[in-house]
Amino acid sequence: MDWACFAAADGRIFLGEGPFEQRSEEPAAGVAFYRNDFALSESKPWWVPARVEEVTSLEAVFSQCNGRREVEWEEIDAGRFAEVFREVTAAIGGGQLEKSVPVVTEQGRWQGPPSEWADFPGQLAKGMRLFGWGEAGAGVLSATPEQLFRLDRGLLETMALAGTSRREDRELFAVDEKEIREHEFVAQTLMAKLADFGMVRRKARQVMDLGQLIHFHTPIEVELYQNESPERLVRRLHPTPALGPLPRTAETLDWLLDWRQRLHCPRWFGAPFGFWHDGVFEALVGIRMVLWEGEQVMVPSGCGVIEASRLVNEWRELRLKREAVRGLFRLG
């Protein structure tokens, strides 16, 4: 059965069951899931479920995912990433870019018989929210810390999320100039994108503790000048500065899409996934995810490359992020 799930900001978890009706616009009433790929190429991104229920635990979601827990992982080609990293840093050195986000994907194949993910933790770390979907033997699960935005009657809430370290390095992370610079790229760019939509308020930069990893996090609110459609806001805010290029132009986006393709990045990684309910729209950013299609399993991770970035450090950050995802979803 086709299904989709979404954890709202207020803690409610919605589980939708198919068949889904695909639409080009959100419905006037009721509920709908919003699913698009990173390139926003879907002409009908709104998915209206045949049935939706509010569930009380994550176990109800994982019962839909007859996955397997053991995976035979393939070795990642570090040389391919090094080649892309050199191209990104060359563009930065030439003044064509300030930042871009290459993505490395670890791939493998399911091993053993199908089983429910019964040992998944009953709750996620504070700040992480679950979404996912499945259809025809393929699916996605994301335990993401990044909200694209929440839109509720003229108030838009979003965040800048960038800069990553291990939890045990928190004291150094808080004063790391490279990580702070990367985060400020994201925060300032996001505020500039929103300035013509309304009155922008930025809150103080914080450290978001997700257990194994920590990130810099800055909440941002906008009092909109007028009503805005969810689709228009998605297209303005996606890709987030944390996942997209700076500056964001047609040319730099094309470069990013080419780098993602060469590194075999799934089209859903970094993409928006949302839920429309009771006149409120919430959208999350698809990171910290596992994807599967038939027997193939994928765990992608991205890194923000700026002038101060170094190849070995970025490779280590990519590995840390994938290890966190594999640990979270109990993928052996």
Which of 260, 270, 219 has the alpha carbon at shortest distance from 240? Answer: 270
Long-range CB contacts (within 8 A, 24+) of 78-87: 78/315, 80/262, 80/263, 81/263, 81/315, 81/318, 82/311, 84/259, 84/262, 84/263, 85/305, 85/309, 85/311, 85/314, 87/259
Characterize 133-153 residue by residue with b for buried, 16 or more Cβ atoms within 10 angstroms of its Cβ, and e for exposed: bbeeeebbbbbbbbbbbbbee
Tell me the pLDDT band of 123, cut-offs 50, 70 and 90. low
Helix (H, G, I), strand (E, B) or coil at 309: coil
Of the two residues 25 and 330, the one the predictor is more confident about is 25
Instruction: Judge contact between 167 and 213, C-beta under 8 A.
Output: yes
pLDDT tens digits, residue range 262-309? 999 999 999 999 999 988 999 999 999 999 998 899 999 999 998 989
What is the percent of the chain with per-residue pLDDT over 70, rounded to a whole number? 92
- The Cα 277–Cα 176 span in angstroms is 40
pLDDT at 69: 65
Boundaries of every domain in the chain: 3-328
pLDDT at 211: 80
Predicted TM-score of the model (pTM): 0.90
- The Cα 40–Cα 86 span in angstroms is 27
- The Cα 302–Cα 267 span in angstroms is 13
Tell me the pLDDT band of 318, cut-offs 50, 70 and 90. very high
Which of 155, 173, 154 has the alpha carbon at shortest distance from 163? Answer: 173
240: Cα separation from own chain's centroid: 9
Instruction: Judge contact between 162 and 307, C-beta under 8 A.
Output: no
Strand 129-135 and strand 138-144: pairing? antiparallel
The topology (CATH level 3) of 3-328 is Anthranilate synthase (3.60.120)
pLDDT at 221: 97
Of the two residues 203 and 71, the one the predictor is more confident about is 203
Neighbours of 83 (CB within 10 A): 15
**pLDDT beyond 60 at 121:** no
Token representation of residue 210:
């997700």
Instruction: Judge contact between 31 and 158, C-beta under 8 A.
Output: no
Long-range CB contacts (within 8 A, 24+) of 114-117: 114/66, 114/67, 114/68, 115/66, 115/67, 115/68, 115/69, 116/62, 116/63, 116/65, 116/66, 117/62, 117/65, 117/67, 117/69, 117/329, 117/330
Residue 194 DSSP class: H
**pLDDT beyond 70 at 154:** yes
Cα-Cα-Cα-Cα dihedral sign, residues 116, 124, 140, 87: negative
Instruction: Judge contact between 160 and 186, C-beta under 8 A.
Output: yes
Amino acid at 269: F
Q: Ranked by mean pLDDT, which of 113-117, 169-173, 325-329 comes out on top?
A: 169-173
Amino acid at 15: L
Name residues whose C-beta falls within 8 Å of residue 29's C-beta, 6 or more positions apart in sequence. none
